[in-house]
Amino acid sequence: MKEKILIDTLIAAQSGDMHIREELIRSHKAFISRVSSKICNRYLTWDNDDELSIALIAFNDAIDTFDPDGGASFYSFVHMVIHRRLVDYFRKEGKHQHLSLSPMNPEDEELSRYDSDTSQLQYQEIENTAVFAEVVENYVHVLSDYNVTLDDLVKVSPKHRESKQTLLRVVLALSSEPNLMAHLKKHRLLPIKELELLTGVKRKVLEKGRKYLIALALVLYEPEFHPLKSFMQIPTEPEE
């Protein structure tokens, strides 16, 4: 579901449109099942597993609590909410002890402060990893709309420092121009002519670096992909 359509749908559901809410939930049941199965480390079915009922309620609650203006990805937010609800369920039911990442009773005198702090850190680390994995998954899906894969990025990443700095300069210029980014997102094509005029970089260089430029510009421009900036070592301003 495209971002603007998704946001409009969420706002309508939050405003009380039950038909849209029900359709939103129905169309995301496969997503809910996939996320829940990953968290539980096993395949879940709607007829047999309570975990999916918990996740469905979590998804419905996420619709109400998500902030469309917050800049975060709805899917990353949903993943976090489902993860938290399932961990709470595991603790309460005494199931899946390997996922009980914090003490069931923080005031239990038998648990040392070290164990409590360590378990909280483990919980946060795994939660962050899960959310980051969801960001990467969404990023890969978006890149496919531009016929770009992660393998492509490895192949087309510039090897020489000077070439890399030239393309990074173009990326920063592109991602700071909403009109050019709108053209890129609408047509799935790099605005070569405009970038050549804006940056002075030759058309041949821009065409050769097309996939690299698109991939990095999306990371810088789309708030949901900002967590990838440090991972992909993208500077926020050109080097001197």
Distance from chain centroid for Cα 69: 16
Compute the average pLDDT of residues 184-202.
94
Measured between alpha carbons, how far is 184 from 179 in angstroms, rounded to an integer?
A: 9
Measured between alpha carbons, how far is 178 from 134 in angstroms, rounded to an integer?
A: 26
pLDDT at 75: 85
Query: DSSP 3-state assignment of 148?
Result: coil
pLDDT at 210: 94
Q: Which residues make Cβ contacts (< 8 Å) with residue 71, sequence separation at least 6?
A: 223, 224
pLDDT at 122: 44
What's the mean per-residue pLDDT of the chain?
A: 79
Question: Does the pLDDT at position 126 exceed 90?
Answer: no
Query: Using an 8 Å Cβ cutoff, are 148 and 211 in contact?
Result: yes
Question: Closest Cα to residue 191, out of 169, 215, 174, 216?
Answer: 174
Question: Does the pLDDT at position 189 exceed 90?
Answer: yes
pLDDT at 37: 85
Share of residues in the chain with pLDDT > 70 (%): 79
pLDDT at 41: 81
pLDDT band at 131 (very low <50, low <70, confident <90, very high): low
Compute the average pLDDT of residues 5-19.
89
Compute the average pLDDT of residues 75-82.
87
Question: Does the pLDDT at position 52 exceed 80?
Answer: yes
- The model's pTM is 0.50
Token readout for 233 is 């070592």
Of residues 91 and 118, which shows the higher confidence score? 91
Question: Does the pLDDT at position 160 exceed 90?
Answer: no
Query: DSSP 3-state assignment of 236?
Result: coil
For the beta carbon of residue 212, count every other beta carbon within 10 angstroms. 22
Question: Closest Cα to residue 210, out of 189, 228, 227, 196?
Answer: 189
Of residues 111 and 168, which shows the higher confidence score? 168
Measured between alpha carbons, how far is 111 from 113 in angstroms, rounded to an integer?
A: 7
pLDDT at 117: 42
pLDDT at 202: 95
Token readout for 21 is 């809410």
